[in-house]
Chain A
Amino acid sequence: MVLRGKFFILAVFALAAYMAAISREQSLPWLIAALLTASLLTGMFWPRWLMQRLAVKRTGPQRALEDETVVFSVEVENRGWLPRFMVELVDRLPFVGAADNGPDQANKLLGSINYVPGRGKRSFDVPLLCEKRGFYRLGPVGLASSFPLGLAEARKTTNHGVQTLTIYPRIFPILSMPLFGAPSQIHRGGYLLPDGAGAAEFSGLREYRRGDNPRHVHWPTTARLNDLMVKEFEPLASACICIALDLAKDANIGRGKQSTLEYAIRIAASVAGYACSQNMHSRLLGEGSSPLRIASGKGDFHYQGILDALAVVDAEGKTPYAQLLMQIALDCARGETVLLLLAEPPQRCEATLQALALLRAKGAHFFAVVFDRDSFFPAGTQRGDIGSQPLSAGLLELGAHCLHVRRGDDLSGLFNR
């Protein structure tokens, strides 16, 4: 129960009315004083009573896409016999307004119901825009009322409506990417037969050697020759992608949705979607507050795993991008394409270029997205960065395919140009 300023003002008026009534020897001042006191009592106790025997339920989806509008249904049930008036429903919805300033933990007003009949229910829908990707805890839903005169506000917190909402990053279509092929590893013993056409081609038979995949044994020839014979495949070029996310705190410029991290995550999700649609292997790595490691894989389930990881990732790490690239170089496959998302401070470019050189020496190809940091700085903030020309020049020397992204760019247009 929170008493507002006008409650005390009215209390002073009521006291003054009683003093006048005692002095005036008339009935009307007594009546005025009684009405003022009645207003005080009603304003103080009625909101509290209104909260009794009210139950609220909020239902809605648990997963959504960025920029999608989801609809939450709110139902208020009055279990008492007398009607309830002007009931406000407050809820903790951190994703509302997160696009500009990040998640807001303050309670928001879902709506209000002017009249709930005794033993009755009222419901309404609340369409909400999922502004920014993330993993959000919603609720609990609370009730509030300051009926009838707004003199005091009663609040009631319930245990209902506690749920999670995962908002996945919005992806954009990519029609093609300039990727280089990596030798297929189908001929190695650890791999099964290709599940897609064109990844490997039969080239001949040979004697079985230790370590060969038993599934590649050609049984008719083995029976005819009375010796184990295995099929040999011609390794075909098959692209695979490694998405290297820079999750260092100082590499994230901008606020809310207009930050380099959000752009990078959208690009990463879209590239992963492209890889999934093209039946390519893809993996995701990053060094945030906890390491992000999605092993190489393909298919819808793998893509869903990447999206789940990208929905919750945040730039809270301290590891320089160069260090992540060095880790990638350790298990990099020859011909693998590494998606570089470069938004780090210029002073670390030299170390990054050295790591890239090592990667290049291991046979990796680069698809670099270079963010224009200056364009992402919020208006009125100190910039002081030098340009990204040395980095761009170094990337060109390493044979990287470069894309420059500025704040507000149409990523779909940029990638499909």
Chain B
Amino acid sequence: MTVATMYFSAYLGLFTSLLLSVACNSFLDIQYGTFPREMIFWTVVFGWTLLIGWRQHGNVTASAKAWQKGVLFFGLFLFFFVFLRMWDMPRAGLYLLAMLQASYNCVTIDRRQLSLGLLVSLTLVVFAASHYRADWTLLFYLAPYVVAVVFTLVADQIHRHGDQLRRLSLGRSSRQGQGAAILSATLAIVLVGGGLYALTPQVNWPYLEWRYGQIMPNDPGGNLEYNGSSGQGGADKSADDESGGQDKAQGPGEMGLLPGNRWPTPAEMRAAAKRPNMPGWQANAIEQLADISESVQHTLQPVVARVIDLWEALKQWLKQHWLAALLGLLAVMLLMILVAFGALLREVPWIAWLLTQWDYLRLGILARHDKGKGGASQYYGAMARLFALHDAPRPATANTREYLARIVRRHRDLHRSAAEMTLLFEQTRYGRQPVDTETIQRMRQLYRELYRRL
């Protein structure tokens, strides 16, 4: 079995994913002020170990294995003497998992190990998202994490496929354009995924059973999950009250994206920005988000109110004039049916024959034609109906010359008259001179001649 080695972009993506997944967990303890120090520590640990892995170039060396063991022992040491004391289980176990992954990074050289690394990062993120202190502010780390994971997988796949194509192709291929391909694919998947997430109704089993099955009591057997998650850090609970009341509004273990949850108001956003030890960039971003949200609300409020007013007025009008609206709708439908029926009737042979007889009576015998261009169009139209009755209908896309060619193919003996009629019609339509009576009379003569000969 061949070992599918990793590319630099995959290492970069794995580093970002792991760092953001740990950041999601560290952010839960933001009020203690250890977040920057933790981030620096994990940046160094993941950066160094992945650098060791990258420098293997697909072949694990003895020094990498030594580093793996060293990081492993260092992780165990931290687990027993730092993590357990600081966070207790299960948070300490989670950080031990992160250290184990850091140890494994030293020998991460192929695709399977990359997938395992991403899976570990997903485990860390799921844990953080399930925590009772997780709220919408976690999105600042969760959204980049999602993008980083998608980027990693896409970059790995595209690099791998590109290399495979280069090996198999007869011509010389280059890597030019792969970056654009990776970014486009990442963007597309994230956007489609976001759209699906927004559109999907996020239901649960109790709701489905209530809606489509038997009525179930709410929270049967108690909410074991929430009870479990609340025990993730006994000492942390005291800080809940200091978090600006957000947790109470969101409920335990939720991120503000749960079914039925609403987007925070600008006031709630500003309160979140003022939480103790919130990173400066994040506080600024939240403030700007609150400003934007507020301005959007100000802009949209009158528009929304106007739309609602119009909608209410329409409903009121319909309530008062429902009979007139119904009859009007029926009249329009009847008119459309009649128009369609008229168009169908034109295709019926005996109706077409009647129309040509009417044309001849009106235009040929009584000479009841319009003046100017209108008269010329009437005679040309009458000629077209006449030929349509004699196996030479005018296609919808054919111009006059193409139609003349079609007539000549079918009725060669009428070539001269049809050609003159077409010429006169074109002259009246596109000529500079105004249409005189002689021209219309000549078209009438030609029409009569064509009628008689057909």
A and B pair up: yes
- Chain A residues positioned under 8 Å from B153 (CB to CB): 149
Task: Give the residues from 118 to 158 in chain B that come closer than 8 angstroms, CB to CB, to chain A.
Answer: 122, 125-126, 129-130, 142, 146, 150, 153-154, 157-158
Least CB separation from B174: chain A residue: A114
Nearest Cβ distance between residue B230 and chain A, in whole angstroms? 15
- Of A104-112, A133-141, A318-326, the segment with at least 4 beta carbons within 8 Å of chain B is A104-112
- Complex CA distance for A149 and B155, rounded to whole angstroms: 9
**Interface-side segment among B36-44, B55-63, B193-201, B417-425:** B193-201
Q: Map CB proximity to A onto B179-208 as digits: 1 under 8 Å, 0 otherwise.
A: 011001100111111111100101111001
**Inside 8 A of A41's CB, which chain B residues have their CB?**
192
Given contacts A37-B193, A85-B185, contact A27 B173 (CB under 8 A): no
Nearest Cβ on chain A to B222's Cβ, whole angstroms: 14
Give A22 Cβ to nearest chain B Cβ, in Å: 6
* Residues 202-217 of B at the A interface (beta carbon under 8 Å): 202-205, 208
- With most chain A CB atoms within 10 A of its CB, the pick from B169, B172, B205, B253 is B169
Complex alpha-carbon distance, A83 and B183, angstroms: 12
Chain B binder among A121-129, A201-209, A218-226, A359-367: A121-129
CA distance A134 to B225 in the complex (A): 74
Give min CB distance, A144 to chain B, whole Å.
Answer: 10
Asked whether A28 is an interface residue with its Cβ less than 8 Å from the other chain, the reply is yes
Q: Is B170 an interface position by the 8 A CB rule?
A: yes
Q: Quick one: given A109-B168, A148-B158, are A28 and B129 in contact (CB under 8 Å)?
A: yes
A115 at the interface (CB under 8 A from B): yes
What separation, in Å, do the CA atoms of A114 and B200 have in the docked complex? 34
- Distance of A130 from chain B, by nearest CB (Å): 13
User: B157 near A25 (CB under 8 angstroms)?
Assistant: no
> What's the least CB distance linking A139 to chain B, in Å?
14
Tell me whether A37 and B161 are in contact (CB under 8 A): no
Contact A112 B173, CB 8 Å, known A22-B203, A27-B255, A28-B255: yes
Known: A42-B188, A86-B162, A109-B170. A114 touches B181 (CB 8 A): yes
Task: Write the nearest CB–CB distance from A50 to chain B, whole angstroms.
Answer: 11
The B interface is mostly helix, strand or loop, or mixed, namely helix
Question: With A26-B253, A38-B196 given, is the CB distance from A96 to B170 under 8 Å?
Answer: yes
Q: How far is the CB of B164 from chain A (nearest CB, A)?
A: 9
The distance from the CB of A24 to the nearest CB of chain B, in whole angstroms, is 8
Q: What is the bound-complex CA distance between A42 and B193, given in angstroms?
A: 10
A114 touches B162 (CB 8 A): yes
Best-surrounded residue of A37, A86, A114, A125 (most CB of chain B within 10 A): A114
B172: chain A residues at CB < 8 Å are 111, 124-125
Chain A residues contacting B171 (CB-CB under 8 Å) are 74, 110-111, 124-127
Q: How far is the CA of A214 from the CA of B125 in the complex (A)?
A: 106
Digit string of A86-122 for contact with B (CB within 8 Å is 1, else 0)?
1010000100100000000000111111110000000
Contacts of A403 in B (CB 8 A): none
Interchain nearest-CB distance for A70 vs B (Å): 12
**How many chain A residues touch the partner (CB < 8 A)?**
46
A33→B161 CA distance, assembly (Å) = 25
Assembled-state Cα–Cα distance A124/B176 (Å):
13
Whether B169 and A112, one on each chain, are in contact in the complex, defined by CB atoms closer than 8 angstroms, is: yes
A252 within 8 A of B: no
Knowing A35-B150, A42-B189, the reply to whether A150 touches B170 (Cβ < 8 A) is: no
In the complex, what distance in Å separates the CA atom of A29 from the CA atom of B175?
35
User: Which residues on A sit within 8 Å (CB–CB) of B165?
Assistant: 86, 88, 109, 111-112
Q: Assess the A22–B204 pair: CB atoms within 8 A.
A: yes
Q: Is the CB of B258 within 8 A of A126?
A: no
- Chain A residues with CB under 8 A of B196: 34, 37-38
State the Cβ distance, B349 to closest chain A Cβ, in Å: 41
Minimum CB–CB distance for A72 against chain B, Å = 8
Tell yes or no: A147 within 8 A of B by CB: yes
Q: Which of A93, A126, A149 contacts B154 (CB 8 A)?
A: A149
Is A289 located at the chain interface by the 8 A CB criterion?
A: no
- Report A146 CB to chain B, min CB distance, Å: 7
| B254: interface (CB < 8 Å) | yes
Question: Is A347 interfacial (CB-CB < 8 Å)?
Answer: no
CB distance from A60 to the nearest CB of B (A): 12
**Assembly CA distance A29 to B146 (angstroms):** 12
Contact A114 B146, beta carbon cutoff 8 Å: no
Q: Indicate whether A150 sits within 8 Å of B161 (C-beta atoms), given known contacts A27-B255, A28-B125.
A: yes
* Residue in A27, A86, A113 whose beta carbon sits within 8 Å of that of B257 in the complex: A27
Q: Which of B150, B158, B204 contacts A25 (CB 8 A)?
A: B204
Given A147-B185, A150-B161, CB of A114 within 8 Å of CB of B178? yes
Report if B177 contacts A (CB, 8 A): yes
Closest Cβ–Cβ distance, residue A103 to chain B (whole Å): 16
A41 to B225, CA, bound (A): 33
CA distance A32 to B190 in the complex (A): 11
- Taken together as a complex, chains A and B put the C-alpha atoms of A86 and B125 apart, in Å, by 32
Q: Is A381 an interface residue (CB 8 A)?
A: no
In the complex, what distance in Å separates the CA atom of A124 from the CA atom of B165?
15
Residue numbers in A under 8 Å from B146 (CB-CB): 31, 35
Q: A110-B170, A124-B171 are in contact. Are A27 and B184 (CB under 8 A)?
A: no
Chain A residue nearest in CB terms to B197? A34
Q: How far is the CB of B196 from chain A (nearest CB, A)?
A: 4
> What is the distance, in angstroms, from B357's C-beta to the closest C-beta of chain A?
50
The answer to whether A46 has its CB under 8 Å from any CB of chain B is yes
What residues of A have a CB within 8 angstroms of the CB of B176 in the complex? 114-115
Write the chain B residue with the least CB distance to A112: B165
A23 near B204 with CB under 8 A, answer yes
Q: Closest CB of chain A to B171's CB: distance in Å?
A: 4
Assuming the contacts A86-B158, A150-B161, asked whether A111 and B173 have C-beta atoms less than 8 A apart, the reply is yes
CB-CB < 8 A to A114: which residues of B?
A: 162, 173-178, 180-181
Contact (Cβ within 8 A) B158 A30: no
B184 touching A42, Cβ below 8 Å? no
Chain B residues, Cβ within 8 Å of A110:
169-171
Interface string of B221-254 (1 = CB under 8 A from A): 0000100000000000000000000000000011
Q: Which residues of B contact A74 (CB under 8 A)?
A: 171
Question: Which residues does chain A contribute within 8 Å of B122, judged by CB atoms?
Answer: 32
Q: In the complex, which residues of chain B have a beta carbon less than 8 angstroms from the beta carbon of A96?
A: 170
Q: Pick the most buried of A26, A128, A146: most chain B CB atoms within 10 A of its CB.
A: A26
Contact, CB under 8 Å: A30 / B202: yes
Q: Given A38-B189, A42-B185, A126-B170, check contact A113 B177 (CB 8 Å).
A: yes
Given A30-B197, A86-B181, A108-B170, 15 further pairs, Cβ under 8 A: A23-B204, A31-B146, A31-B257, A35-B197, A38-B189, A38-B192, A42-B192, A85-B180, A86-B165, A112-B166, A115-B177, A126-B170, A147-B185, A148-B189, A149-B157
The 8 A-B residue pairs with the shortest CB-CB distance, nearest first, are A115-B177, A114-B177, A148-B185, A38-B193, A126-B171, A27-B257, A111-B171, A38-B192
Can you identify 24 A-B contacts, CB atoms within 8 angstroms? A27-B129, A27-B257, A28-B125, A28-B126, A28-B130, A31-B197, A34-B196, A35-B146, A35-B189, A42-B188, A42-B189, A86-B158, A86-B181, A109-B168, A109-B169, A110-B169, A110-B170, A111-B170, A111-B173, A113-B173, A114-B180, A115-B180, A148-B189, A149-B157
